[in-house]
Amino acid sequence: MAAAKTRASSFSRNLSTAAPSLGPGLKCGPNGTVLLSSGIPDLDKILGGGFSLGSLVMVMEDAEAPHHMLLLRNFMAQGLVHGQPLLYASPARDPRGFLGTLPSPAASKDDKSRGPEPDQEKGLRIAWQYKKYFGENQLNFDGQRDGKHEYSNEFNLRNPLERHFFNGQRVDCVSIQDSPDLSILQDRCTTFLSQLPRNDGSISCAGRIAIQSFCSPQCVYSNMEWEMLSFIRSLKNMVRSSNSVAIITFPPSLLSPSFCKRWQHMADTLLSVKAIQDDDKELAQLLTGYQDMIGFLNVHKVARINTQVPVILEATTFSIKLQKRRYLVLECLNQAPVDGSSGNSDGTSGSCSSSSKTGSLDF
């Protein structure tokens, strides 16, 4: 966000000479970091622009729901759209099959025609939502200025990603199910990251590593807690010294509490996802738009690379919604306005409701 602002100001010329030349899908962040998109425009906005290169993102899964896959899919698809190399590791037997489920970017024409409509609607509804709308516009504008590649795309979860995106590229898939220890994964990560060394100056390409359900019980090593921790540490250090972002999802309930905390300390950016129970009536009354929500996203920690100041967000819990059943959207939780009919807390309204009850009985 801050970067977008400074670019628009009169200092833009100085900045563009000082800033390293960046490849597609990358932009400058604060404190000399370079950001890449998470594939979810809303999440980028929440995190202040995206994931910074060299950071380790950890996502705590909901043990009973596959919401972390939504984050992974968008993250991977965004990388492929930008032509960034990808390493995907999963406990599934055929990890390459997962590539077939990646969403495709919403066509830009479609995006434009679709864009203003809901935004206007929102803007009319509540004044403070203008701010959000404004930020989004600026982001889009920024993306268009950079050339034909936008920084972040919206993905249509209903359309699969076209094959040509992952045919010609460096896409590496590893199954971590059968390997007795982590050395294979470690080697693959090392070779993958050795292609993306960090040197000052131009960054033409950034890699993405996605590891799904790292400590799941299908993996043989899932009880070797120190080995896993040691792998995460070495991955973190390798990623830090290369142009890439690693994202690891794990079910925290399968780890012992003390190790779960250790993993959380390892993360630069720590998120968690949670599904919504089907009919939680109390929540449905509290929150607006409850019927569209599919889950919650919690932001526990935002990466602070090259700075000691913590990032304090206005809200840490966001609802995950599927707009038109296609687009993944994150929104702040809005408390529903207290309804006159449901608010029967005091005595007088109690009598009212009793009278209305008799009324309803008349029908």
Partner 1 sequence: MNQRSSNLLDEALGLDQAIEPWPLRGRVVAIEDRVETSGSFILHHLLKRSLSRNPSSVSIFIAFAHPFSHYDRILRKLGCNLVSQRDNGRFFFFDMLKLRCPVGDEGTTPGGGLIALYGKIHKTISALPEISQKNVSIIIDDLSLMEVAANGSSDHVLDFLHYCRTLTSEFDCSLITLNHEDIYSIEDGSTFLLQMAYLADILIKAEPLATGLAADVHGQLTVSNKGRNKASNFHFKVKENMVECFYPGRSRD
Q: Which residues bind partner 1 (CB under 8 A)?
A: 31-32, 225-226, 229-230, 233-234, 237, 240-241, 256-258, 261-262, 264-265, 270, 300-301, 304-310, 312-313, 316
Nearer to partner 1, 132 or 262 (CB): 262
Nearer to partner 1, 167 or 256 (CB): 256
Shortest spacing between CB 241 and partner 1, in angstroms: 7
What's 169's DSSP letter?
Answer: S
Shortest spacing between CB 268 and partner 1, in angstroms: 10
* Tokens linked to 332: 């702040």
* Tokens linked to 151: 């920084």
Nearer to partner 1, 218 or 234 (CB): 234
Contacts of 262 (CB under 8 A, 6+ apart): 229
Based on the number of CB atoms within 10 Å of its own CB, is 64 exposed (0-12), middle (13-18) or buried (19 or more)? exposed
Contacts of 7 (CB under 8 A, 6+ apart): 15, 142
Nearer to partner 1, 253 or 354 (CB): 253
Q: Which residue has the tokens 């094959």?
A: 163
Distance CA 268, CA 47 (A): 12
Nearer to partner 1, 270 or 330 (CB): 270
φ, ψ for residue 139 (rounded to 5)? -60, -45
Distance CA 186, CA 167 (A): 24
Shortest spacing between CB 230 and partner 1, in angstroms: 5
Nearer to partner 1, 68 or 236 (CB): 236
Transcribe 317-333 into DSSP letters: EEEEEEETTTEEEEEE-
> What distances in angstroms separate CA 255 from CA 92, 104, 140, 182, one per listed residue?
20, 34, 40, 17
Nearer to partner 1, 60 or 171 (CB): 60
